[in-house]
Amino acid sequence: MTEKRKLYIFTAVIISGILVFGIASSAIEGFLFDQIPYNYTSYLSIPSNSPDAASIDGYYKLYGKGRNFNFHIVLPGAEGQESPLDYTADGLNGTGKINDISITYGTITSLLSGNFKNALFNTKINGNYTMACAAWTGYGKFTNNGQNFLGNFKIDGVMTDWEGTFQLVPENNQISLKTDYIFYPHDNKTSNNIKEVKKIYYL
Give the model confidence (pLDDT) of 119-135 as tens digits. Answer: 778 888 899 999 998 89
Distance of CA 191 to the CA centre of its chain: 30
Give the model confidence (pLDDT) of 136-186 as tens digits. Answer: 999 999 999 988 999 999 999 999 999 999 998 988 778 888 999 999 999
Can you give the residue ranges of every domain in the chain? 39-103+124-202
Q: How far apart are CA 141 and CA 152, in angstroms?
A: 6
| pTM of the full structure | 0.78
Q: Where are the beta strands (DSSP E) in the chain?
A: 37-46, 56-65, 68-74, 92-102, 124-133, 136-144, 149-156, 160-171, 174-185, 195-202
Q: Which fold has domain 39-103+124-202?
A: Lipocalin (2.40.128)
